[in-house]
Amino acid sequence: MNTARIPAILIINSGSSSIKFAVFDDANLSELVKGQIDGIGSHASFKVKSPDQRIQETITWPKELAPQDHNAALKVILEWLHHALSNVHILAVGHRVVHGSAKYLEPVMINDAVIHELESFYALAPLHEPHNIAGIKAAREVFGDIPQIACFDTAFHRSQSFINDTYALPRTFYEEGVRRYGFHGLSYEYINSYVQQYLPAYFGKKTVVAHLGNGASLCAIERGHAVATTMGFSPLDGIPMGSRSGQVDPGVLLYLMQYKQWDAQRISDLLYKESGLKGISGGLSNDMRTLEASNTFEAKEAINYFAQHVQQEILSLAAVMKGLEVLIFTGGIGENSVFIRGQVIQELQWVGIELDTAANDSGAEILSNISSKVVCLRIATNEELMIAKHTHNLSTALPSESLDTKTR
């Protein structure tokens, strides 16, 4: 009987109260399993799925038994992996890190110095970065010397020019780090690499990728490199999202501070938690599926507002590239909402986009008619696989003796 253990890569994406994870075979980067723990510290739940989306495990804990921090949650994940995937040996760990500032242009091997520097970026992404680092620290405590790689959501956008990277503020602000970093970079990088590998006829074209989900942004990619994006200094900028506002006149915020005496925390809660689709729909939902199923006037206005702003940003990014040849939809809404894709494309007919209604209804990869001047595509993103590729490439570049470590 063959008892050889499968070398594998563990991918960790730590949020404020959750840890998403995935395990990939290091030999061929095929996904073995993925899952997440939500509600860390309260009524936590654990769910694991196989690559064919079959649920392999579900657990919901009462509050007193739930994992109370990221260390405890990660140990639950590892214990499950130990029993369910007993033939798997974790060779390296890859982490999604939201912010790499202007320094980190590519993935990096994690050490104490890197962690210390990433902690200095907390002010740039206060709702994300601390939780990313908590996941890294928890994994280092569990895995010891196993190589761990940080992959940054901002890195893909570092090819933007100064003009598309700056704000019209005194230049000293740019020099101290107030600039348009952009996010969802791992998703855009995956889509870019997918097109290059599987749809090479469209690679290098003037492309807009619309990553539409609970968090949403768009990115202009030309000759395979990012040239502009809708998110800026924070993940608040750009189009409206599930509960995030998107672009807001700064005068509104001055008004809230000066005339309503709102403090920073109250404004933060408004912009991150109470706005976007949720706010416009009158508090109905931040979920596009719920809004599409609703007959309320407010839900329809929220949908129309979202679609119109997607259209506007597509054209804005096309203006940066002085043209548009390929439009790609991805993310939870972009991949699954027939209505949003159809509405956005139909409203852009005047720029030469022709929708193939049957292809859109069936969720085909190519959504546009053969006569369309702009090719429209639907591609499922896979940020975990992108992180796995980076982790594999960096960890295999190390001397073999540094990988011969034992998990604890």
Q: Identify the CA nearest to 275 among candidates 300, 306, 254, 304.
A: 306
| Ordered alpha helix ranges (H), 199-263 | 250-259
What is the model's pLDDT at position 42?
Answer: 76
Q: Which residues are part of the catalytic machinery?
A: 153
Q: How far is CA 333 from the centre of its chain?
A: 13
CA distances from 165 to 39, 98, 160 (A): 36, 17, 6
Token code pair at residue 66: 């739930």
In CATH, the number for domain 6-152 is 3.30.420.40
Residue 403 in contact with residue 354, Cβ under 8 Å?
A: no
Listing from the earlier edge strand, what are the strands of the sheet with 45-49?
A: 55-60, 45-49, 31-38, 18-25, 6-14, 88-97, 148-152, 108-109
CA distances from 76 to 12, 45, 81, 286, 348 (A): 13, 11, 9, 30, 48
Helices then strands, counting H and E runs in the chain, come out as 15, 13
CA distance 125 to 236: 10
Half-sphere exposure in the Cβ direction for 262 (13 Å, CA): 15
Q: What is the dihedral of CA 362, 364, 370, 375, to 10 degrees?
A: 130
Please state the CATH superfamily assignment of the domain spanning residues 200-382 in this structure: ATPase, nucleotide binding domain (3.30.420.40)
DSSP code at position 323: -
pLDDT in tens, the chain (408 residues): 445 688 999 999 987 778 899 999 999 999 999 999 988 877 789 999 988 888 888 988 888 888 888 888 888 888 888 888 888 889 999 999 999 999 999 999 999 999 999 999 999 989 889 989 988 998 898 888 899 999 999 999 999 999 999 999 999 999 999 999 999 999 999 999 999 999 999 999 999 999 999 999 999 999 999 999 999 999 999 999 999 999 999 999 999 999 999 999 999 999 999 999 999 999 999 999 999 999 999 999 999 999 999 999 999 999 999 999 999 999 999 999 999 999 999 999 999 999 999 999 999 999 999 999 999 999 999 999 999 999 999 998 765 444 433 332
Full-model pTM: 0.93
Residue at 103: amino acid letter? K
Residue 22 in contact with residue 33, Cβ under 8 Å?
A: yes
Token code pair at residue 23: 């395990």
CA distance 210 to 167: 23
Q: Where in the sequence of the chain do the CATH 3.30.420.40 domains occur? A: 6-152, 200-382
- 3-state secondary structure (DSSP) of residue 225: strand
| Ordered alpha helix ranges (H), 3-128 | 70-84, 112-119
Burial (CB < 10 A; 0-12, 13-18, 19+), residue 79, is exposed
Continuous segment of H or E residues that includes residue 217: strand 217-222
